[in-house]
Amino acid sequence: MKMWTAATALLSHWRRRPLQLGALLSGLALATALWCGVQAINAEARASYTRAAVVLDQNGLANLVSPNGSSIPQSAFVRLRRAGWNVSPVLEGDYRFGVIRLRVIGIEPLTMPAETNTVDLGNAGDLLSFITPPGMLFVSPRTAEKMRGQTDLALRVSDRMLDGAAFIDIGLAQKLLRREGELSRIVIAENQRSGLEPLEKLVPTLSVREPNAETDVEHLTESFHLNLTAFGFLAFAVGLFIVYATIGLAFEQRRPTFRTLRCLGVSLSALAVLLLAELVLFALAAGAVGVAIGYLVASLLLPGVAATLEGLYGASVPGTLSLRPEWWVSGFAIAVAGTLVSSAQSLLRLRRVPLLAAAQPQTWGRSWQAGRRFQVLAAAALLALSGALLLWAEGLEAGFGVLGCLLLGASLLLPTVLSGFFTVMQRASSRALVTWFWADARQQLPGLSLALMALLLALAANVGVGTMVSSFRLTFVGWLDQRLAAELYVAARNEGEADRLRTWLATKVESVLPILSVDAEIRGQPMQIFGVADDPTYRMHWPLIVGMPDVWDQVASSQGVLVNEQFWRRDRLRIGDQLDLPGDWKPAVVGVYSDYGNPKGQVIAGINALTSRYPQVSRLRYGLRIQPDQVADLRSRLTDEFGLPADNVVDQAALKEQSRRIFDRTFLVTGALNIFTLGVAALAMFSSLLTLSEMRLPQLAPVWATGVTRRDLALLEVLRALVLWLATFIAALPLGLALAWVLLAVVNVEAFGWRLPMYFFPYEWLRLGLVALGAAVVSVFIPLRRLARVTPSELLKVFANER
Amino acid sequence: MSVRSIAIAFAVTTMASLSGSQAASEGFGGLGSTVEGFSVPQPGLLFRFPADHGPHPDFRIEWWYLTANLEAPDGTQYGAQWTLFRSALAPGETNAWSSPQLWMGHAAVTTSEDHFVAERISRGGVGQAGVVAAPFSAWIDDWQMEGHAAPGADQLADLSLTATAEEFGYELRLSATGPLVPQGINGYSVKSAKGQASYYYSQPFYAVVGSLSLPSGNVEVTGKAWLDREWSSQPLAEDQTGWDWFSLHLDTGEKLMGFRLRDEGEGYTSATWITADGRPDPLPATALKIVPVRTAKVAGRQIPVSWNVQIPSRGFDVTTQPLNDHAWMSTSIPYWEGPIAFEGSVSGRGYLEMTGY
Amino acid sequence: MIALRNLRKSYETAEGRLEVLRGVNLDLGAGDRVALMGESGSGKSTLLHLVAGLDRTDSGEITIGGRDISKLNDRERAAYRRTKVGLVFQQFNLVPSLDVAANIAFHAKLAGRHDREWENELVERLGIGTLLTRYPEQLSIGQQQRVAIGRTLAARPGLVLADEPTGNLDEANGDAVLELMLSLSKGSGSTLLLVTHSQRLADRLDRQVHLRFGKIE
């Protein structure tokens, strides 16, 4: 009963300050929402990787693989079977059916363990059609839709299949991929009889990949998800600033209540329990709202993310979200944990509430100077650590470490920098009101510094990521222009058609550039080797980063090859290094080209060098050089006269447009998260100003009494808030650019394998500045409107004797 | 991948006969009797060894079928079976997965109490299963029948035989004490009045030593074994539903192979009397008479497990008793196959196979 | 110089309408130093606020230097406070964000009468020369009130209005502060209206008026 009374007394505070409660709850809910949304997206993607791994890679079972990633001879499989091992062979690779590129997974249905749930060959007829030529493809409904008209092979649709992949018979796979007698891996069934000869004796060159090991897709996309998580965390941290500030204020304002309750016999521990219960209750309520918003945010963003993952990594993720406990539980958990962390300081202070001290709220700035010295030291340490990481650490985590330390250090430094700035401005002014304006701005820093730090983080993230994305886009578009030099791209459906096509085209275009590629294992990594004709198109357009002066002659004469930037950086290759390619082929690296959007390594060789080693290489795709004004005509003749399906003829413009669309979708999520983060920061500013406006009267009343109208005071207040915004925005620019530099030069290189030049986009900053200004005006408006409407008697109460 | 569908596939192509032609009557019936590019057995061809020990990929089906009546030193009786079936989806062979050949192995050990069964299925072309004529080797996964005869000698004269499954296994050494025996007319074995036939020869004269590995432990055994080699493309007539097949080691040293293909009428019987020195005497079509003596409920069906077998022209009249009533081969295509003993005008041991029940 | 005619002022309170001033009439000459006395709640502070142009009258006239300030709008009243009036309250007189020196100069600068010599003299006489770089929250209440007096007198207002300026001080301190205020205001020739409930303080001024039930007795 006593507890209940005490609780009522404590809670009454919020009834009198609904806006404060609103700020606390919405700050917490928004922070949770962003965190949760990002987690939901990650969870969905990971779940689909796992599904893909289990279904496509038989990842639930152990697999025998070649440690260096090269092919396994089929004889190893036979040797194992004949030694009594229950194993099944798999050969996988990418294969192009007309314009559709599929990951084909060749399996052997008779030996494939039933628990892998690969293909459901429910009746004998299916099994026979599957294993006997010409064969059958098991694909998802969506893939089947896309495949229409691209292949003569029979399609079987299975809902269990993932998009972009097909199960086929191992024999067909070896034939399509031109890898007769080769396997990618060998699945080991769970059931094995006893007394078997150990694997390391039977196949000493192979190693066992344990069930549920990390897959390639997981590895490739790791950086992307780390990116998202980092953003989610940033948003959450910004949100916590609000929570911290609001809880701190609410505790300060309730000191008299605490004291009264203590005097009435409520023990310190009982009070602590009550406050803790209150906080947890708030955290759960806000967490629930946050999870709901997070779900909404995630389901809005997921299609974009799915498109990105497919475009960048070829990973198939469904565009719809399911409610997975791993993220909504984590949403609640982080809401509660965040609340407790940000209220820890206030709860600890509770112990120091003296029973008899004046019931007046302490002035905030008192201990601020001392705290600031510590902040500056911490900031210096963080910035130094950031620099040290930049210089000496490696890897994506280190890259994010650099970012984290830089952002946190800079934001800790912000109040000191602003304070110094205001001092200088104050000294430089002679007019009384102007002096007061700056002095008062400086005096408000303790109360606003958290909100300003949050704002700095949000703005810097916006500038940084915006600069990174725009630099990337500019580079990417320029690169596309170079790379997609041919006016028209065509794909034949089979070799016979390709032969006819070459003959047919001979008299109609300026040049026909074959696009030949084979899959190969190079230095233990799956890569593609492209063959290019010796054509001026490449000499003039192909985007090289570095290269020997006679690079194209070297390629044409089969002495040298080009490698893409990813491969070059990852393997630290140098010009002149010898590459060890399959088939005892040891050309020199003579140049490096940029290859954005491709997660894998790539090699470009002369067409003769390639075809002499891979005589069976598929010759289905061609780039055509013609006069731009003839494109439309040739295009229609290709479909009408020659009879290619319309989908198999793509013009340069469409291809560029498609690439650009994929690119833009890729960074949609980032942009959205940026906006959300800015929104949270605006909310932080709003709640801080709201808080301050309640404490402003004693500071404004003397000035008013000395002869400044209330209207002028309110205007000055607005102006001051905007100056704080502006100062923070200006501080955010260099920080954002530093952020962009780290993203472009460190994180991107680690995550994607390419380094991009940095460009500046002042118009974007202006736009961001205007958006921020808009948010500032909104966040300032409500608190200051109250101030402008204050009555003289309210102001006079400040001086009143009874106070 | 469901085992069931493999079974059906195999049944359709190979063993319509064994499966009781249930599948055959459901739209695949044509496969049982038509030929579709496969070779068809012709009378009058002589076997050529060792080549004919190897596979005949132009024929639809083929088997290497070994049954052994074994005895432990304490007199306990056992039976062992090792069979490799070949079934072709199309004639011919390639050295890749595109091979149209499918292989299926069955192994079993029968005791008076238990009947252990295992099965292996494999595709041809890549070496997971296959048969080589000389030096003789037949295998599927780790099950193997390997010849040890010197070059020039009969490649089947000296064999080692292994099969291992989760519950049981065996290693046997087989030494022929007599010659190969062609069945039917010089190896042309007629299966119906309509003329369906197969190529068929046997090696019924194996002396066996070896060991069985059973859940209860290892058992050293000795005994007799019988190998059947048979290939064809059109084993059964459309109205034939199954068969009862006997291979008998008479205590006199003589051997008897006899079968009856069941149809809606009397059925079609065939038998070969083999003298102790291995001379075959193909008996006329109606010489063999078999009559069920006792049936038992096995795997939900009534199976005649004890038979009266008569060849009146030879004064042969015995009654067979199984070592174990429940010698049920619960493989993809289920059938009954187990060791038997017989008494009557002469006593001895042998094997009984019954399909289509 | 100052003429109050039939001043009325009431407030809405939770218990209903409270008539604080019910027709006050008062005349002050230039240089007059008058103590305004009365019971708690008699309307002393309200009267002071009206004269200072901080609040509006319900009816009546406040003529100062020939101008009725009750007719002025917000902006004009602010200008009036800035240039004609100096205020000292019991507490919270100072601008918290400015140091002592800036506080002293603040009103004078706003009034356009910034005079460094005069300020220096005030600082010296108030004995606050060592406090110039401190901030209000770092001062004792006595020190704050000295600074407040300095801030008011630095602007050389024609009219100094003080509302219990020593109310939060002990007697000795209060006397010293008041002494300073009286002697300094005498030097500047300002009219002084001092609200107090202390007869001892009132006795030191030229004249005393008593407010009772909203009227001057």
Q: What is the pLDDT of residues A110-124, one digit of tens each?
A: 888 877 766 766 666
Q: Tell whether C159 is covered by a domain.
A: yes
Q: Say if residue A1's pLDDT is above 60.
A: no
Q: What is the pLDDT of residue B52?
A: 95
Q: What is the pLDDT of residue B195?
A: 79
Is the minimum CB–CB distance between A126 and chain B shorter than 8 Å?
yes
User: Which residue in the set A75, A131, A175 is minimally distant from B123, CB to CB?
Assistant: A131
Q: What is the CATH number of the domain that holds C94?
A: 3.40.50.300
Q: Say if residue B17's pLDDT is above 60.
A: no
Which chain A residues have a beta carbon less than 8 Å from that of C42? Answer: none
Strands C33-38 and C207-212: parallel
Instruction: Say how far apart CA A139 and CA A56 lie, in whole Å.
Output: 11
B26 band by pLDDT with thresholds 50, 70 and 90: very low
Which chain A residues have a beta carbon less than 8 Å from that of C97? Answer: 436, 439-440, 442-443, 699
User: Which residue in the set B1, B2, B165 is minimally distant from A193, CB to CB?
Assistant: B165
B307 band by pLDDT with thresholds 50, 70 and 90: very high
Cα-based angle A213, A219, A221 (whole degrees, multiple of 5): 135
Highest average pLDDT, of A361-375, A541-555, B10-24, B38-52, comes from B38-52
Residue A698 · residue C96 · CB < 8 Å: yes
Q: What is the pLDDT of residue A123?
A: 63
Cα C104 to chain centroid, rounded: 15
* Nearest by Cα to B117 from B104, B128, B126, B129: B104
Is the minimum CB–CB distance between C115 and chain A shorter than 8 Å?
no
Q: Say if residue B10's pLDDT is above 80.
A: no
Residue C116, domain extent: 30-56+78-216
B→A interface, C-beta within 8 Å:
1-3, 5-6, 8-9, 11-12, 23, 28, 89-90, 96-98, 100, 121-123, 125-128, 139, 141-142, 144, 164-166
Highest average pLDDT, of A472-481, A530-539, B101-110, comes from B101-110
Residue A592 · residue A599 · CB < 8 Å: no
Interface test with B, best of A72, A82, A190 (most B CBs within 10 A): A82
CB proximity list for A594: less than 8 A, separation 6 or greater? A475, A479, A543, A545, A564, A565, A754
CB pairs under 8 A between A and C: 93
Q: Tell whether C23 is covered by a domain.
A: no
User: Which residue in the set B12, B98, B128 is minimally distant from A133, CB to CB?
Assistant: B98
Residues 151-170 on C with a CB inside 8 Å of A are: 163-164, 167
Which chain A residues have a beta carbon less than 8 Å from that of B165? Answer: 193
Interface test with B, best of A110, A178, A194 (most B CBs within 10 A): A110
Q: What is the pLDDT of residue A315?
A: 67
For the residues B3-21, what does the mean pLDDT come to? Answer: 41
Q: What is the pLDDT of residues B133-186, one digit of tens each?
A: 989 999 999 999 999 999 889 999 999 999 999 889 999 999 999 999 999 999
Q: What is the pLDDT of residue B19?
A: 34
> A82–B98: do the CB atoms touch at under 8 Å?
no
The residue extents of the domains of chain B are 3-354
Instruction: Say how far apart CA B121 and CA B11 lie, in whole Å.
Output: 12
Task: Return the minimum-mean-pLDDT range out of A362-366, A520-524, A636-640, A750-754.
Answer: A362-366
Q: What is the pLDDT of residue A52?
A: 73
User: Which residue in the set B5, B11, B97 is minimally distant from A122, CB to CB?
Assistant: B5
Contact of chains C and B by CB distance (3 or more pairs under 8 angstroms) = no
Is the minimum CB–CB distance between A754 and chain C shorter than 8 Å?
no
Q: What is the pLDDT of residue A397?
A: 78
Scanning chain B, the segments in alpha helix (DSSP H) are 3-13, 29-33
Cα B169 to chain centroid, rounded: 19
Q: What is the pLDDT of residues A81-132, one digit of tens each?
A: 999 999 999 998 888 887 788 888 899 988 888 777 667 666 666 778 888 8
Token digits for C175? 């006397």
Q: Tell whether C9 is covered by a domain.
A: no
Q: Tell whether C72 is covered by a domain.
A: no
Q: What is the pLDDT of residue A117?
A: 64
Write the ipTM. Answer: 0.91
Mean per-residue pLDDT of chain A:
81
Q: What is the pLDDT of residue B348?
A: 96
Q: Tell whether C68 is covered by a domain.
A: no
For the residues A394-410, what does the mean pLDDT come to? Answer: 85
* A598 half-sphere exposure, CB direction, 13 A CA radius: 16
Is the minimum CB–CB distance between A428 and chain C shorter than 8 Å?
no
Q: What is the pLDDT of residue A124?
A: 63
* pTM beyond 0.90: no
User: Which residue in the set C98, C109, C163 is minimally distant from A431, CB to CB?
Assistant: C109
Number of domains in chain C: 1
Strands B181-182 and B169-176: unpaired
Q: Say if residue A368's pLDDT is above 80.
A: no
Residue A239 · residue A30 · CB < 8 Å: yes
DSSP run (H or E) holding A392: helix A368-392
The residue extents of the domains of chain A are 1-54+226-358, 58-214, 370-481+657-803, 488-625
Residue A742 · residue A402 · CB < 8 Å: yes
Instruction: Say how far apart CA B26 and CA B49 lie, in whole Å.
Output: 39
Topology of domain B3-354 in CATH is AttH-like fold (2.40.370)
Those chains having 3 or more beta-carbon pairs within 8 angstroms of chain C are A
User: Which residue in the set C55, C79, C97 is minimally distant from A699, CB to CB?
Assistant: C97
Nearest C-alpha of chain A: how many angstroms from B173? 19
Q: What is the pLDDT of residue A352?
A: 66
DSSP run (H or E) holding B62: strand B61-71
Which chain A residues have a beta carbon less than 8 Å from that of C49? Answer: 792, 796
Dump the DSSP string for A186-223.
Answer: EEE-S---SSPPPHHHH-TT-EEEPTTPPPHHHHHHHH
Nearest C-alpha of chain C: how many angstroms from A702? 6
Token digits for A484? 């997609």
Instruction: Say how far apart CA B212 and CA B80 lie, in whole Å.
Output: 9
Compare B94 and A697 and report the one with higher pLDDT: B94
Nearest C-alpha of chain C: how many angstroms from A426? 10
Token digits for A799? 């001086």
Q: Tell whether C121 is covered by a domain.
A: yes
Q: Say if residue A305's pLDDT is above 80.
A: no
> B142–A82: do the CB atoms touch at under 8 Å?
yes
Chain A residue with minimal CA distance to C86? A706
> C91–A796: do the CB atoms touch at under 8 Å?
no
Task: Return the minimum-mean-pLDDT range out of A444-448, A633-637, B33-37.
Answer: B33-37
Nearest C-alpha of chain A: how many angstroms from B193? 31
pLDDT over 70, % of chain B: 89
Q: What is the pLDDT of residue B115?
A: 96
> A439–C98: do the CB atoms touch at under 8 Å?
yes
SS3 B333: coil
Highest average pLDDT, of A408-412, A502-506, A635-639, B323-327, comes from B323-327
> C95–A431: do the CB atoms touch at under 8 Å?
no
Q: Say if residue A487's pLDDT is above 50.
A: yes
Is the minimum CB–CB distance between C101 and chain A shorter than 8 Å?
no
Within A110-151, strands assigned E span 136-139
Q: What is the pLDDT of residues A26-64, one digit of tens each?
A: 888 888 888 888 888 888 877 777 777 777 666 678 889
Spell out the per-residue pLDDT of chain C, length 217, in tens: 788 988 898 888 778 888 888 888 988 888 888 999 988 778 888 888 899 888 888 888 898 888 888 888 888 988 999 988 988 888 778 888 888 999 999 999 988 888 899 899 889 888 888 999 888 888 888 888 889 988 988 888 889 999 888 877 788 778 877 888 888 777 777 889 999 888 888 888 889 999 888 888 7
> B96–A174: do the CB atoms touch at under 8 Å?
yes
pLDDT over 90, % of chain A: 10
Q: Tell whether C18 is covered by a domain.
A: no
Q: What is the pLDDT of residues A767-792, one digit of tens each?
A: 888 877 887 787 777 777 777 777 77
Q: What is the pLDDT of residue B114?
A: 95
> C78–A707: do the CB atoms touch at under 8 Å?
yes
For the residues A480-488, what does the mean pLDDT come to? Answer: 81
> C137–A366: do the CB atoms touch at under 8 Å?
yes
Q: What is the pLDDT of residue A60?
A: 75
CA distances from B156 to A647, A693, B59, B132, B151 (A): 62, 104, 21, 12, 11
CB proximity list for A116: less than 8 A, separation 6 or greater? A54, A55, A58, A60, A61, A187
